[in-house]
Chains A and B, each alone.
Chain A
Amino acid sequence: MTTEYERKLIDMRSQMQENNAYLDDYMKDLNSWTDDMKKKEETVKKSTNSNSTPADLPPIRNFVEPPRPKKKSQNKTKPKTSSSIRSFDYNAWSKFDVDAECERIDNEQKVENDGGDEEEEDDDEDEDDEQWQEEVLKKKAEHYKDWGNHYFKQKSYAQAIENYTKAIECNPTSHIYFANRAQCQLFEERYGACEADCTLAIQLDKNYIKAYYRRALARIGLGKIDQAREDLEYVISREPSNTDAKNKLAEVNKNDEIKRLGRIYPLQDKPIDKRSTKPLKRIEIQEIDTSIISNSTITKKKNIIIEEIETTEVPTPSEPIPPPPPSQPLPPPSAPSTQSQKPSPKSIPIPTAIPTTGFQFKRDWANLNNQLDKQSIYFNQIPPTTYKTIFSTGLDSSVFSRILLLWSMKTNIDEHLINSMYEIRQTPRFNTQLSFLNNDDKQLLKTTLDRLQIDSSLSKEKIQKILNDYKID
Chain B
Amino acid sequence: MDKPQIILHSQKSVNYTVFDVKWIPTSAKFISLGNHARGTGALDIFEITHGDIALIAQHEKPTAFKCGTFGASPSRERRHLATGNFDGYIQVWDLEKLEKPIYSVKGHTEIINAIDAIGGLGVGEGAPEIATASRDGRVHIWDTRQADLPVASMEPAEGETKRDCWAVCFGNSFNSSERVVCAGYDNGDVKLFDLRTMSIRWETNIKNGVCCLEFDRKDIEMNKLVATTLESKIHVFDMRTQHVEKGFASVVEKAHNSTVWIGRHLPQNRDVFMTCGGSGSYYLWKYNYPENRVKTQTDKTEVGVAGTLTLLQNIGLSTQPASAFDWSPDKPGLACTSAFDQTVRVLITTKLNSI
User: Interface residues, chain A, CB within 8 Å of chain B?
Assistant: 11-12, 15-16, 18-19, 22-23, 26-27, 30-31, 33-34, 37-38, 40-41, 44-45, 47-48, 51, 54, 57-63
A interface secondary structure, majority: helix
For residue B252, CB closer than 8 A to chain A, the reply is no
Establish whether residues A61 and B151, one from each chain, have CB atoms under 8 Å apart when the complex forms.
yes
Contact with A along B190-205 (1 / 0, CB 8 A): 0000010010000000
Q: Which of B9, B76, B127, B330 contacts A60 (CB 8 A)?
A: B127
Cα distance, A26 to B51, chains bound together (Å): 12
For residue B343, CB closer than 8 A to chain A, the reply is no
Q: Which residues of chain B are within 8 angstroms of A19 by Cβ–Cβ distance? A: 1, 5, 350
Given A30-B48, A54-B75, A57-B128, decide whether A62 and B152 contact each other with a Cβ distance below 8 A: yes
Establish whether residues A61 and B195, one from each chain, have CB atoms under 8 Å apart when the complex forms.
yes
Establish whether residues A60 and B146, one from each chain, have CB atoms under 8 Å apart when the complex forms.
yes
Contact with A along B63-80 (1 / 0, CB 8 A): 000000000001111100
Establish whether residues B350 and A58, one from each chain, have CB atoms under 8 Å apart when the complex forms.
no
Cα distance, A37 to B125, chains bound together (Å): 26
Establish whether residues A48 and B78, one from each chain, have CB atoms under 8 Å apart when the complex forms.
yes
Contact with A along B21-32 (1 / 0, CB 8 A): 000001110000
Establish whether residues A12 and B77, one from each chain, have CB atoms under 8 Å apart when the complex forms.
no
Cα distance, A31 to B9, chains bound together (Å): 12
- Size of the B side of the interface (Cβ < 8 Å), in residues, is 41
Establish whether residues B127 and A61, one from each chain, have CB atoms under 8 Å apart when the complex forms.
yes
A33 to chain B, nearest CB (A): 6
Contact residues of B between 89 and 134, Cβ < 8 Å to A: 96, 125-129
Q: Which of B51, B126, B146 contacts A27 (CB 8 A)?
A: B51
Establish whether residues B1 and A15, one from each chain, have CB atoms under 8 Å apart when the complex forms.
yes
Q: Which residues of chain A are within 8 angstroms of B27 by Cβ–Cβ distance? A: 37-38, 40-41
B104 to chain A, nearest CB (A): 18
Establish whether residues B333 and A26, one from each chain, have CB atoms under 8 Å apart when the complex forms.
yes
Cα distance, A12 to B1, chains bound together (Å): 7
Cα distance, A51 to B333, chains bound together (Å): 33
User: Interface residues, chain B, CB within 8 Å of chain A?
Assistant: 1-2, 5, 7, 9, 26-28, 47-51, 74-78, 96, 125-129, 141, 143, 145-146, 151-152, 176-177, 195, 198, 330-331, 333-334, 348, 350-351
Establish whether residues A61 and B28, one from each chain, have CB atoms under 8 Å apart when the complex forms.
no
B94 to chain A, nearest CB (A): 10
Q: What 6 pairs across the A-B complex have the smallest Cβ distances?
A: A15-B1, A34-B28, A37-B28, A61-B151, A44-B77, A48-B77
Establish whether residues A22 and B350, one from each chain, have CB atoms under 8 Å apart when the complex forms.
yes
Establish whether residues A41 and B26, one from each chain, have CB atoms under 8 Å apart when the complex forms.
yes
Q: Which residues of chain B are within 8 angstroms of A48 by Cβ–Cβ distance? A: 77-78, 96
Establish whether residues B143 and A60, one from each chain, have CB atoms under 8 Å apart when the complex forms.
yes
Establish whether residues A61 and B141, one from each chain, have CB atoms under 8 Å apart when the complex forms.
yes
Cα distance, A54 to B119, chains bound together (Å): 12
Cα distance, A34 to B198, chains bound together (Å): 43
Residue from the set B77, B176, B177 with the largest chain A CB neighbour count within 10 Å: B77
Establish whether residues B26 and A44, one from each chain, have CB atoms under 8 Å apart when the complex forms.
yes
Cα distance, A301 to B282, chains bound together (Å): 122
**9 interchain pairs, CB-CB under 8 A:** A15-B1, A22-B351, A30-B9, A30-B48, A41-B26, A41-B27, A44-B76, A58-B177, A61-B127
Establish whether residues B50 and A31, one from each chain, have CB atoms under 8 Å apart when the complex forms.
yes
B326 to chain A, nearest CB (A): 16
Cα distance, A54 to B145, chains bound together (Å): 12
Q: Which residues of chain A are within 8 angstroms of B126 by Cβ–Cβ distance? A: 58
